[in-house]
C-alpha cells in the first residue's frame, strides 16, 4: 500500500483515474462524482425507472457493447469547438445530457459513454469495490447508503474532474462542481467519520458554499461552458441539492437503483 491510499482514514478522497487506482483496492465502497454531467444523468435516468450501462469508449466499441447488452446507446449531445461546447444536431434520441432524460420511459436501458465519469466507474468495478454514482442531487442518499454498505470499512470518494481541451496533453482539470459534489457526499457520510485531510477539505468547501451551490455552479468554468452551448438547464438540474433519493449502484456492470 502506498501513502496515496490514505491508510488509516475511514473516508478518503482522491481525483480521477489515479484516485480510482489508489483507493479502490482499499475501500469497500467507491463513490464516483461527475456532476457535469455523467453521474447527474445516471441519477435522472434511474429516477425515471431506467438502468444505465457505463462505457469507457466513444467509438465503435461502445456500439458493440450496447448491442451485446441490449441497451440503447446515447449520443453525447454536445460537440466541442475551439470556443467550448456547442449543442450537437437536434435529434429525438436520448443523450448524455440530463435534460434529455427527464421524460425517459420507465424500463429504458441506456448505454452512456463518457471519458470521465463512465470511464472511472468501469475502472472502479474492475478493482473490486462497490461502486456508487454520486452527485449534488443525491448526495445525502448516496452518503447514507455508502455508510450502510461499507459496514465500518473505508469509503472512497473520487471526483472525476474535467480535462483541458486546448492543450496537447489533455490533463486533469480539478473542477469546482466536483469539489462541491464530493464535499456534499463527504458531509453526508457524517461529521463523526474519520476523514482524510483531502476529504475534510472538500467537506469544508461545501459547507462554506452555504446555500450558494446553484450560483457557484452556474458561474464556474464548466457551468459557463454549458451555458455558452445553450444548455444552462443541464447546470440547473445538476445544482438541485438533495432533490433525489436515488442511489445508483453498479451491479454486474450496470447502474441500478439500490433498494436499501
Write the CATH number for 174: 3.90.1560.10
> Residue 260 falls within a domain, yes or no?
no
Q: What is the distance, to the nearest Å, from the Cα of residue 115 to the centroid of all Cα atoms in its chain?
A: 11
Q: What pLDDT score was predicted for residue 83? A: 52
Q: What is the pTM of this model?
A: 0.93
> Residue 189 falls within a domain, yes or no?
yes
pLDDT tens by residue, 108-138: 999 999 989 999 999 999 998 999 999 999 9
Residue of 257 and 57 predicted with greater confidence = 257
Q: What pLDDT score was predicted for residue 163? A: 79
Q: What percent of the chain clears pLDDT 90, i.e. is strictly above it? A: 83
pLDDT class for 85, splitting at 50, 70, 90? low
Domain that holds residue 94: 3-251
> Residue 259 falls within a domain, yes or no?
no
Least confident of 13-27, 90-104, 235-249: 90-104
How many domains does the chain fold into? 1
pLDDT class for 86, splitting at 50, 70, 90? low
Does the pLDDT at position 234 exceed 90?
yes
> Residue 37 falls within a domain, yes or no?
yes
Amino acid at each position: 500500500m502506498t501513502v496515496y491510499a490514505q491508510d488509516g482514514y475511514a473516508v478518503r478522497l482522491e481525483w480521477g483515474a489515479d484516485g480510482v487506482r489508489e483507493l479502490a483496492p482499499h475501500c469497500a465502497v467507491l463513490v464516483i462524482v461527475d456532476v457535469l454531467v455523467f453521474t447527474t444523468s445516471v441519477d435522472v435516468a434511474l429516477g425515471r425507472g431506467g438502468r444505465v450501462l457505463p462505457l469507457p469508449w466513444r467509438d465503435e466499441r461502445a456500439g458493440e457493447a450496447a448491442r451485446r447488452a441490449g441497451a440503447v446507446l446515447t449520443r453525447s449531445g454536445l460537440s466541442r469547438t475551439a470556443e467550448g461546447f456547442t449543442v450537437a444536431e437536434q435529434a429525438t434520441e436520448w443523450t448524455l445530457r440530463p435534460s434529455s432524460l427527464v421524460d425517459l420511459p420507465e424500463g429504458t436501458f441506456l448505454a452512456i459513454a463518457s471519458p470521465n465519469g463512465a470511464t472511472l466507474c468501469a475502472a472502479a468495478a474492475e478493482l473490486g469495490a462497490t461502486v456508487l454514482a454520486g452527485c449534488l442531487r443525491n448526495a445525502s442518499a448516496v452518503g447514507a447508503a455508502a455508510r450502510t454498505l461499507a459496514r465500518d470499512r473505508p469509503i472512497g470518494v473520487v471526483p472525476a474532474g474535467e480535462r483541458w481541451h486546448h492543450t496537447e496533453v489533455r490533463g486533469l482539470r480539478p473542477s469546482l462542481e466536483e469539489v462541491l459534489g464530493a464535499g456534499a457526499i463527504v458531509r453526508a457520510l457524517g461529521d463523526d467519520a474519520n476523514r482524510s485531510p483531502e476529504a475534510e477539505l472538500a467537506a469544508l468547501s461545501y459547507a462554506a458554499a452555504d446555500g450558494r451551490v446553484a450560483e457557484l455552479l452556474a458561474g464556474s468554468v464548466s457551468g459557463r461552458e454549458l451555458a455558452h452551448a445553450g444548455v444552462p438547464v443541464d447546470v440547473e438540474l445538476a445544482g438541485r441539492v438533495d432533490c433525489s433519493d436515488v442511489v445508483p449502484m453498479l451491479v454486474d456492470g450496470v447502474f441500478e437503483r439500490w433498494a436499501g
